[in-house]
Amino acid sequence: MSLSLILVVVLALGAMAYWLGRSRGAAMVVAGGHRIGAVHSLPGYHGAWVALLALAPALVVLAGWAIVGEGVVTGQVLAAVPQDVRPVTPLDTSAFMNEVRGLAAGDIAAAFNPAAEAVAPQYRAIRGNYNLMVGALALALFAIGGLWAFSQVRPDFRARNRVERVVKWGLVLASVVAILTTFGIVMSLIFESIRFFQMVSPVEFLFGTKWSPQTAIRADQVGSSGAFGAVPLFWGTIFIGAIIAMIVAIPLGLMAAIYMTQYADARVRRVVKPMLELLAGVPTVVYGFFAALTVAPAVRNFAVSIGIADASAESALAAGLVMGIMIIPFVSSMADDALTAVPQAMRDGSLAMGATKSETVKKVLVPAALPGIVGGVLLAVSRAIGETMIVVMAAGLAANLTLNPFSSVTTVTAQIVALLTGDQEFDSPKTLSAFALGLVLFVITLLLNIYALAVVKKYREAYE
């Protein structure tokens, strides 16, 4: 009897428990003559309470067994294997048990290890017994909980309050899971980074100007020095995400927002604004191949035509241009909000002085909305430097420390992808450096976001 079958049975019984509780509640309502106050809670709450008390312990037992069960069974199966052929290292054990499980489930016909074939029937028997025991325990708990809750169903029983409390704790649990996951991610970044910094000094990583993460496997290997100076990566990230992309996105986004809020009439705005925001919905991988296949060759041809012979096919300019286009909706929608939030009185005051529309925008609205616009730009920068697909496809992997926009540069995100793609050993500085890079990126974008949100919030308060 498999665990999933037990689970299905328990859930079906839970639905039945709900129905029973509900029916009994409904009967009480009828008996009470449909008066308010005759029965404290609606029938549905009684049903939910019965189902909850029946299901909760049974599900906890099943979940607990799903987590620890395999370990218990494995221990007993290994004990049954003769001492001389028993696997010793964790890796061997894992391979051995995989074969045993495959045989037991019938997924594979034969195993490399004859010992595994020998214990497969035992595994199946032990597993089956345990599952039966756990299933019986779950059903017993289900019955006890369900019956106890069912016996509580009385007109004055406050099922609603109890169910509401359970709902609240369920919601708390959901948000705690999200927070804990984030916390876990940060922790894993930090621990892996610490391992990296034990091999490479933080000073070299943060201030070194040579990036060449290939480490030599043999002593006589050429060109695999293993240099971990990340400055070229930081520079590439800033060059593409915070400089070139912003040169594109800030003027275009801001002017689009000014047009939308001040010039466009309601009909145009209704059509054009969602279209602009559609840009934000294009998958970044689509931008990526647009950058790599269309923009990058065009940029290279342009560079060659103006006499830069060594222009690279993958250039900072191509990636930055496309990233700028991608960022436009972020800038424009934040600028739109900021401009709309400037009180109408400010605009009227300027117009009543005889200022034209463009003078009003230039001298009153944009200065008044500036903090909000700056906040939007900072959020856009943090989005741009974390962007991956475009730079992977169009910026290249050569860690050049250069000001030339036609040459190939690389970014933190592109390097992380390169370092972790394919089969990698997780104890070399090459792989671990990806975590250090990720940590730096995380810290930078976190600070940018906190600062940007503070700016935006302060500005909003000023007008409310």
Partner 1 sequence: MTDIPARQADGNSAPMAHNVPVAAGRAAEAVTTKMTARDVNVFYGAKQALKNVSIDVSRENVTAFIGPSGCGKSTFLRCFNRMNDTVDSAQVSGRIQLDGKDIYSPDMDVVQLRARVGMVFQKPNPFPKSIYENIAYGPRIHGLARAKPDLDIIVESSLRRAGLWDEAKDRLNESGTAMSGGQQQRLCIARAIAVDPEVILMDEPCSALDPIATAKIEELIDELRGKYAIVIVTHNMQQAARVSQKTAFFHLGSMVEYGDTSMIFTNPVQTRTKDYITGRYG
Interacting residues with partner 1 (CB under 8 A):
265-266, 343, 345-356, 359, 363-364, 367-368
Q: Which amino acid, 139?
A: L
d(CA 421, CA 411): 16
Q: Which DSSP letter does residue 279 get?
A: G
What is the nearest approach in angstroms of partner 1 to the Cβ of residue 355? 5
The DSSP secondary-structure symbol of 407 reads: S
Q: Tell me, what amino acid is at 4? A: S
**DSSP H or E run through 455:** helix 429-462
Is 380 exposed, middle or buried (CB count within 10 Å of its CB: 0-12, 13-18, 19+)?
Answer: buried
Nearer to partner 1, 330 or 459 (CB): 459
Quote the tokens at residue 424.
């990698």
Closest distance of CB 367 from partner 1, Å: 7
- Our CB check for partner 1 shows the closer of 204 and 359 to be 359
Q: Which tokens belong to 123?
A: 């595994």
Longest dimension (CA), the chain: 98
173 vs 352, beta carbon nearer partner 1: 352
Report in angstroms how near the CB of residue 267 gets to partner 1 at its nearest.
11
Distances in Å between the Cα of 113 and the Cα atoms of 116, 119, 264, 324, 456 are: 5, 11, 75, 58, 64
Distance CA 185, CA 231 (A): 25
Query: Of 344 and 421, which has the nearer Cβ to partner 1?
Result: 344
Q: How far is the CB of 364 from partner 1 (least distance, A)?
A: 5
Closer CB to partner 1, 195 or 357, in the complex: 357
Strands 211-215 and 225-228: antiparallel
Collapse the DSSP code of 401 into the 3-class scheme (helix H, G, I; strand E, B; otherwise coil) and give the result.
coil
| First CA to last CA distance, the chain | 64
Please, what is the minimum distance in Å from the beta carbon of residue 356 to partner 1? 6
Nearest to partner 1 of 13, 374 (CB atom)? 374
**In terms of CB distance, is 297 or 349 closer to partner 1?**
349
Residue 271 CB, nearest approach to partner 1 (Å): 17
If the CB atoms of residues 326 and 364 are measured against partner 1, the closer one turns out to be 364
CB nearer to partner 1: pick between 50 and 258: 258
Q: Which two tokens stand for residue 417?
A: 């992808």
Indicate the residue among 266 and 275 with the shorter CB distance to partner 1: 266
- The helix (H) or strand (E) run that includes residue 97 is helix 90-105
Let me know: does 124 contact 104? Beta carbons within 8 Å: yes
Mention every residue, 6+ apart, whose C-beta is less than 8 A from residue 214.
223, 224, 225, 226, 430
CB of 265 to partner 1, least distance (A): 7
CB of 380 to partner 1, least distance (A): 24
Q: What is the residue type of 378?
A: L
- Smallest separation (angstroms) from partner 1 to the CB of 164: 45
Residue type for 443, please?
A: V
| Cβ at position 455, least distance to partner 1 in Å | 15
CB 208 within 8 A of CB 230: yes
Please tell me the distance from the alpha carbon of residue 224 to that of residue 227, in angstroms, as a whole number: 8
Q: Which of 463, 444, 458, 65 is nearest to 242 (CA)?
A: 444
Give the residue with the Cβ less far from partner 1, 88 or 266.
266
Shortest distance (Å) from residue 273 CB to partner 1: 17
Sequence-separated (6 or more) residues with CB below 8 Å from residue 160: 40, 41, 42, 45
**To the nearest whole angstrom, how small is the minimum distance from the Cβ of residue 344 to partner 1?**
9
Closest CB to partner 1 among residues 169, 463: 463
For residues 417, 423, 427 and 432, what is the CA-based torsion angle, rounded to 10 degrees? 0
